[in-house]
A and B are shown apart, each in its own frame.
Chain A
Amino acid sequence: MRHLILFLFLFSYFPGFSQSDDLQIFNLKTELTNNANAIVRLDEMMVDIVSKKEMVLKRKKIVTVLNEAGNKHAVAFVGYDNGKKVRNIQAKVYNALGNELEKIKEKDFKDVSAVDGGTLYTDYRYMYYPYTPVSYPYTIELEYEISTKNTGELPAAWIFLDDFLVSTEESSIHINFASPELKPEIKELRLENLDIEKVVTANSIQYLAKNIPAIKSESLCPSFSELAPLVRLRPVNFYYEGFDASIQSWNDLGIWMSSNLLKGRDELSPVTIGEVQNLVKDVDGTLEKAQLVYEYVQQNTRYISVQVGIGGMQPISAIDVDRVKYGDCKGLSNYTMALLKTVGVEAYYAHVEAGNEQVDFEDDFPDLAQGNHVILAIPHEGSYYWIDCTSQIHPFGFIGDFTDNRKAFIIKPNGGEIVRTTSYLNEQNQQLTKGDYTLQLDGSMNGKVSIVTKGIQYDSHFNLTDKTEEHIKKHYKNFWNNINNLHINSYEFKNDKKEVVFREDVAISATNYASKSGDRLLFAANAFNKNKYVPGRYRNRKLPFEIQRGFYDEDQTSITIPQGYSVESVPETMTLETTFGTYFLQIKEENGQIVLERRLLVKAGEYSATEYGAFRDFMKNVSKHDNSKVVLKPIL
């Protein structure tokens, strides 16, 4: 939603030329049908860099769809915008015997806007044909051509696989360049052990890959883009929307961005300058000023995406954002940067790949295609303070799990560099839970609990402050879905934005928490923080797995039992120590009360497929012990 639209548009959907094919499906190799919903029979891309200002992409893609789940990989679809012309688009559909069923001509394609819920306007559009399959398997052949002046929009990568559960029979990219300076840089990733032919001549580069089996996704496995074989491509000398570029390093790219796309975008009206300077007049330090300006932006603007012209890469000017008080990540970041400048605080515009998954920029591959979001880096005493100007609620300097711990590209007036954003490590992502509850004869309970969160755990709790009562009650009913008939009697929050600590105080009650077995009462002592996550079981795990963020939970609960009952048994103390983390649970009887102590540490890390079973056992054990029961019996 709040991503910037980069050159990526056409990432996996490009053009082609022609040859005759045998499209019947009886001789498909089992290595290709294994785990596959669709097979890319042929994916051919021909890139012609005719001059610095002329590029033609031709693509031909033939996909055999084996079942309904494969349909999405065979959509006759091409995206484009004002800078591109789509030509000679056509598609053909074949049945299992290879007989042509349907021919779809250019005029049959639907032409629609790509505007979505989070975007007010974009000139990005796509042409597509909604084909209804009549039987499986079937084959779709799509051909089209795109021409553009923007050689900067060279496809950022050629991925030899389409997606999880799709195999490739043949996939090739062929790049012709008119002169040596138009030769793109190439980076090969995961091409080892594949049937790949590479041909390089003075004015062309070609890769041809054959017979790549489908990959099946498994829980916690790396993302598709980290598993698939691909070549990254980047233009060195290129043209983009009125600007020439020659990029050898991230530093070059930084200079190019700041002297072209960002240049002159930071002007502000004297009224606004006066207002901001007045805002910080009573504080001195860089961070104090920056924080006031950031909070001013948070209170006065909101995120709305408008992508017009080169809006995909260039921010709306600060003066325009100031006029309407909304913008996308580029516009709001640039605006904040301009405001900071007027009060003497330096901040840098930074491209980053945002999302829960941490994706790094490549140190040695400077291009504009990496990243989907813009944030700001404020240098201070040798380190950077990062702010996300699209968030109206995050504390100053806290970026949470949207952009944490990943390499990003900082654009400085005189250069650029790759820098890692703030990391929140294992124990820093903390949750401390303290509570007590009283059990009644009828099995009902009532109690109070406080939850204090920090780091990434703060990030997933603190936004409760802004929510409605209805939302908050729903949240707790889900959060404690181990307690049925939960009633939230009261709640109170304290959001310490300075220390980035969030505290929730909640009073709850529930009927039938303890269950009756004969005259005994049974209940799980751990009411407030039960581990719910046990990763799925794989009979034959193939892929490695990663835990991107660790966390640490500590719990203390005391439980008052009903009059006339005594403790018949409590579970034994349990300690687990593994590569993946540690767990401790103790439930004791103390002065007629039950006291629970629990600690769980899960560590971030990358692990091999063979370790998966052990990790699963660890989480399974945690769940099992979190559920262990206390038995009460009546005193006779």
Chain B
Amino acid sequence: MIIERMLLVVTLLACFQTRAQEVEFGNVSKEELMETSYAQDSDASAAVTFRKQETYLLSSNGILRLITEVHERIKIYNKDGFEYATEKVNLFKAGSDKEEVRKIKASTYNLEDDKVVEYSLEKDQIFDTAMSFNYDQVKFTMPHVKEGSVIEFTYSISSPFVWNIDEFRFQRDIPVKHLMAELRTPKGFNFRQTQKGFLILNSKKTTKQDHRLGMEVVITSYDLKNIPAMKAENYVDNIDNYRSGAMFELVSIDIPGTPYRSYAQTWQDVAKTIGSSSDYKNDLDKTRSFKEELKTVLGGKTDQLQIAKDLFKYVKDQTEWNGLDGKSFQNGIKKTLKEKKGNAADINLLLVAMMRDAGIRANPVILSTKDNSMPFFPTVDRLNFVIAHAFIDGKDYYMDATEEFSDINLLPVRDYNWGGLLVDNHNKVWKHITAIKPRKANNIYALDISLDSEGYAEGNFKSRLSDHSAYRFRENFKNRDLDEYLNEMEQRYLGIEISDYEAGNTDTYEGMVTEKFVYETENGADVIGDKLYVHPLAFLRMDENPFKLEKREYPIDFGFPFRDRYMVNIKLPQGYVVESMPENVLVHLPNELGSYKYVVKKNAAGIQLSVTFDLNSAIISATNYSELKEYYNQIIIKGSEQVVLARASNEHNQSTAGSR
């Protein structure tokens, strides 16, 4: 309906005149070609020196298309930059609707004998590949590319999917010197524009009258200069979430003479919109396909939490996730049960439906996973996943039955991405919940070591991992060849030799994981002269800082908060006493983000060490990067300090002397 109406309107708009471009195609100067590095970033292997993008709707012969015109010029500084000389355009298709790329024009410019020489891309150098059932790829790589080349291309993409305006991505892994972008939409079709990333975009909104047609268009334009490159580093969930750009979504249609239509203005609107789709409105209460079977599964139980647990387990056991995201059914409840598999919506909505049938207040929660995008603004399109929520005795329970080791209120880490949207049609509650956050894992590592005077040590190791630490352990441990696993562990643990290894509770998703083993090592202490130097944390010490860079531009994502406690008892070799010990310390991260407590003491048998390492937030902002790096540094320094043991006779004599 809306599309038809829109068609009518836009048919009248016809095409627009393109405005004069700042950089003219083909007008490449000698200076550009002679440039050897990018002024603001000498590390750049290439830079986009100019890009202009215009996206607008166009009607020809009564058919509406979304057109995107691109003009880009790239300077290549060195061989690493050659990869930017290949342009790929992905073109989506659904049935007979296809995106198309037209009017490809491209050239390479080199400086040869002090002259600018242009090499044009020829038609036979453009390759069209049918990648898969839902997309094609047009690809070309520029001729005559070498260090110093400037390449330039223009093309135009024509898309029948007029509602899907792709994100305008401004920031890349190479710097962009000048970027102009423009979106033109017919007045009355209101698109929300949302900016992301750390740059100030200063977009301008103007309207323009097309006098010939007597219609108005809204122009959203950007004019950006010197956009720095952004590259991925350690501990980042999805770098594209932090790159600057703008996203667009249709939020309302307001055309005189037609009823006002509102889409995703607020999160509540989004929840309502999704809630009014048939998957969420009716299908969740269709229970015929499992009603009988559930009776046997639940066997007259009445405790709601217990029922929720049983159903969660039942869905996990009975179905397998096919790896596909989705907030709408791929198979539907009936087929999912029959084939025992489906996408995220099939599985988690099945769980919702079953819980509802059992009388629990259960509802879907829709979200965007970390690998998808960060949901900065109310959006329907960019939410890609759904999980189940139950409200029992005033408490919230979140469940994602797609993964083997997830538990109630222990979701896969990908799901913790700035909350989710509760769609509770029955109680007319549609709201954004920000409180979906990973619990803090609480892990204990205990080590009993006995040491001899040659530096040989043997001992017992025990650990207990909770929540996401247990989850991660189970995932890594599953289907591993034990020999190989121990082999790797021995290497990681500084070459100790492990025997009698046992890992408990690894096949289930509930409760904690336990580990224990016996070990021996020739490197239990450094024997230097007649003294022994011992690392009290032994092989559990951290010896390399994961944060090596001087600065960081986006947050550090640990996945979940945790507390690691280490308890070590060291029995000294016969005839040795403690000559010196590291000092106790307590280190804090600002804003209670974390703390490290190190306490070592002597006791009758030897030495006792207790270390508590807390990291209280899954995500730490880039502004705290240097403190975090220093925090780890302090931890490593502390771990490197040694206890010095000396033969008892001297020490003993001295102390006896002292006491007289």
Do these two chains interact?
yes
Closest 5 CB pairs of A and B: A518-B580, A536-B487, A121-B127, A468-B43, A324-B143
Closest chain A residue, CB of each to CB of B108: A325
6 A-B contacts, Cβ less than 8 Å apart?
A: A132-B321, A134-B320, A325-B145, A326-B141, A468-B42, A536-B488
Asked if B481 is an interface residue, CB under 8 A from chain A, the answer is yes
The segment from B239-247, B543-551, B603-611 that touches chain A is B543-551
Chain A residues within an 8 Å CB radius of B484: 536
Chain B residues within an 8 Å CB radius of A323: 143
Asked if A628 is an interface residue, CB under 8 A from chain B, the answer is yes
A469, B42: Cβ atoms under 8 Å? Answer: yes
Taking A481-B544, A520-B644, A631-B528 as known contacts, 12 extra A-B pairs with beta carbons closer than 8 A to each other, sorted by chain A number, are A120-B139, A121-B129, A134-B320, A302-B145, A326-B143, A485-B545, A512-B637, A517-B533, A522-B642, A537-B490, A537-B497, A569-B529
Chain A residues within an 8 Å CB radius of B43: 468-471
B637, A325: Cβ atoms under 8 Å? Answer: no
How far, in angstroms, from A115 to B43 measured CA to CA in the complex?
A: 30
Of B132, B133, B319, B483, the most chain A CB neighbours within 10 A belong to B483
Which residues of B459-478 are within 8 A (CB) of A? 478
- Contacts known (A133-B320, A518-B644, A629-B533); A326 close to B129, Cβ less than 8 A: no
Chain A residues within an 8 Å CB radius of B45: 468
A113, B132: Cβ atoms under 8 Å? Answer: yes
B642, A484: Cβ atoms under 8 Å? Answer: no
Asked if B281 is an interface residue, CB under 8 A from chain A, the answer is no
How far, in angstroms, from A469 to B78 measured CA to CA in the complex?
A: 13
How far, in angstroms, from A393 to B644 measured CA to CA in the complex?
A: 52
Which residues of A90-128 are within 8 A (CB) of B? 102, 110-113, 115, 120-121
Asked if A33 is an interface residue, CB under 8 A from chain B, the answer is no
Interface code B326-352, partner A: CB below 8 Å = 1, 0 otherwise? 000000000000011100000000000
Chain A residues within an 8 Å CB radius of B319: 134
A629, B637: Cβ atoms under 8 Å? Answer: no
- Contacts known (A121-B129, A121-B139, A132-B320); A568 close to B529, Cβ less than 8 A: yes
A residues apposed to B, CB below 8 Å: 35, 37, 67-69, 102, 110-113, 115, 120-121, 130, 132-135, 165, 216, 219, 299-300, 302, 304, 306, 323-326, 392-393, 466-471, 474, 477, 481, 484-485, 512, 515-520, 522, 534, 536-539, 568-569, 571, 620, 623-624, 628-629, 631
Chain A residues within an 8 Å CB radius of B42: 468-469
- Contacts known (A68-B479, A515-B637, A517-B641); A325 close to B137, Cβ less than 8 A: no
A325, B146: Cβ atoms under 8 Å? Answer: yes
Nearest CB of chain A from residue B600's CB, rounded to whole Å: 12
Asked if B290 is an interface residue, CB under 8 A from chain A, the answer is no
Closest chain A residue, CB of each to CB of B132: A112
A115, B487: Cβ atoms under 8 Å? Answer: no
- Contacts known (A518-B644, A624-B523); A484 close to B129, Cβ less than 8 A: no
How far, in angstroms, from A466 to B82 measured CA to CA in the complex?
A: 13
Nearest CB of chain A from residue B135's CB, rounded to whole Å: 10
Asked if B372 is an interface residue, CB under 8 A from chain A, the answer is no
Nearest CB of chain A from residue B344's CB, rounded to whole Å: 13
Closest chain A residue, CB of each to CB of B127: A121
Asked if B23 is an interface residue, CB under 8 A from chain A, the answer is no
Chain B residues within an 8 Å CB radius of A304: 86, 141
A539, B644: Cβ atoms under 8 Å? Answer: no
How far, in angstroms, from A469 to B323 measured CA to CA in the complex?
A: 40
Nearest CB of chain A from residue B240's CB, rounded to whole Å: 18
Closest chain B residue, CB of each to CB of A125: B130
How far, in angstroms, from A512 to B43 measured CA to CA in the complex?
A: 30
How far, in angstroms, from A537 to B487 measured CA to CA in the complex?
A: 6
Asked if B636 is an interface residue, CB under 8 A from chain A, the answer is yes
Nearest CB of chain B from residue A109's CB, rounded to whole Å: 11
B544, A515: Cβ atoms under 8 Å? Answer: no
- Contacts known (A134-B341, A325-B145); A120 close to B320, Cβ less than 8 A: no
How far, in angstroms, from A68 to B476 measured CA to CA in the complex?
A: 12
Chain A residues within an 8 Å CB radius of B633: 484-485, 512
How far, in angstroms, from A161 to B421 measured CA to CA in the complex?
A: 51
- Contacts known (A132-B321, A134-B320); A392 close to B522, Cβ less than 8 A: no
Chain B residues within an 8 Å CB radius of A35: 481
- Contacts known (A120-B127, A132-B321); A325 close to B642, Cβ less than 8 A: no
A569, B528: Cβ atoms under 8 Å? Answer: yes
A484, B322: Cβ atoms under 8 Å? Answer: no
Asked if B27 is an interface residue, CB under 8 A from chain A, the answer is no
Total CB contacts across the A-B interface at under 8 A? 153
Task: Indicate which residue in B78, B86, B491, B641 contacts A120 across the interface (CB closer than 8 Å).
Answer: B86
How far, in angstroms, from A69 to B480 measured CA to CA in the complex?
A: 8
Interface code B107-148, partner A: CB below 8 Å = 1, 0 otherwise? 000000000000000000101011111000101110111110
Chain B residues within an 8 Å CB radius of A516: 641
B642, A517: Cβ atoms under 8 Å? Answer: yes
How far, in angstroms, from A571 to B580 measured CA to CA in the complex?
A: 21
Asked if B309 is an interface residue, CB under 8 A from chain A, the answer is no
A112, B131: Cβ atoms under 8 Å? Answer: yes
Chain B residues within an 8 Å CB radius of A300: 144, 146
Closest chain B residue, CB of each to CB of A474: B548
How far, in angstroms, from A325 to B125 measured CA to CA in the complex?
A: 12
Chain B residues within an 8 Å CB radius of A569: 528-529
How far, in angstroms, from A131 to B125 measured CA to CA in the complex?
A: 37
Interface code B82-124, partner A: CB below 8 Å = 1, 0 otherwise? 1001100000000000000000000000000000000000000
How far, in angstroms, from A464 to B641 measured CA to CA in the complex?
A: 35
Which residues of B477-527 are within 8 A (CB) of A? 478-479, 481, 483-484, 487-488, 490-491, 495, 497, 522-523, 526
Chain A residues within an 8 Å CB radius of B481: 35, 165, 216
B479, A69: Cβ atoms under 8 Å? Answer: yes
A623, B642: Cβ atoms under 8 Å? Answer: no
B79, A466: Cβ atoms under 8 Å? Answer: yes
Asked if B624 is an interface residue, CB under 8 A from chain A, the answer is no
B637, A628: Cβ atoms under 8 Å? Answer: no
How far, in angstroms, from A37 to B79 measured CA to CA in the complex?
A: 43
Task: Indicate which residue in B78, B145, B483 contacts A539 across the interface (CB closer than 8 Å).
Answer: B483
Which residues of B46-79 are within 8 A (CB) of A? 78-79
How far, in angstroms, from A539 to B500 measured CA to CA in the complex?
A: 12
How far, in angstroms, from A485 to B546 measured CA to CA in the complex?
A: 11
Nearest CB of chain A from residue B384's CB, rounded to whole Å: 18
Asked if B236 is an interface residue, CB under 8 A from chain A, the answer is no
How far, in angstroms, from A120 to B87 measured CA to CA in the complex?
A: 10
How far, in angstroms, from A631 to B646 measured CA to CA in the complex?
A: 14
How far, in angstroms, from A346 to B42 measured CA to CA in the complex?
A: 42
Asked if B640 is an interface residue, CB under 8 A from chain A, the answer is yes
Chain B residues within an 8 Å CB radius of A631: 528-529, 531, 533
Chain A residues within an 8 Å CB radius of B146: 299-300, 302, 325
How far, in angstroms, from A130 to B580 measured CA to CA in the complex?
A: 62
Which residues of B541-594 are within 8 A (CB) of A? 543-545, 548, 579-580, 582
How far, in angstroms, from A300 to B117 measured CA to CA in the complex?
A: 14
- Contacts known (A37-B479, A392-B79); A113 close to B130, Cβ less than 8 A: yes
Closest chain B residue, CB of each to CB of A524: B526
How far, in angstroms, from A63 to B70 measured CA to CA in the complex?
A: 49
How far, in angstroms, from A199 to B438 measured CA to CA in the complex?
A: 64
How far, in angstroms, from A470 to B174 measured CA to CA in the complex?
A: 14
Of A471, A516, A624, the most chain B CB neighbours within 10 A belong to A516
Task: Indicate which residue in B80, B495, B544, B640 contacts A512 across the interface (CB closer than 8 Å).
Answer: B640
B643, A517: Cβ atoms under 8 Å? Answer: yes
- Contacts known (A392-B79, A484-B543); A534 close to B145, Cβ less than 8 A: no
Chain A residues within an 8 Å CB radius of B86: 120, 304
B528, A629: Cβ atoms under 8 Å? Answer: yes
A466, B145: Cβ atoms under 8 Å? Answer: no
- Contacts known (A112-B131, A132-B320, A304-B86); A484 close to B636, Cβ less than 8 A: yes
Nearest CB of chain A from residue B482's CB, rounded to whole Å: 10
Task: Indicate which residue in A484, A519, A629 contacts B545 across the interface (CB closer than 8 Å).
Answer: A484
Chain B residues within an 8 Å CB radius of A67: 479
How far, in angstroms, from A102 to B79 measured CA to CA in the complex?
A: 50
- Contacts known (A326-B143, A520-B644); A534 close to B545, Cβ less than 8 A: no
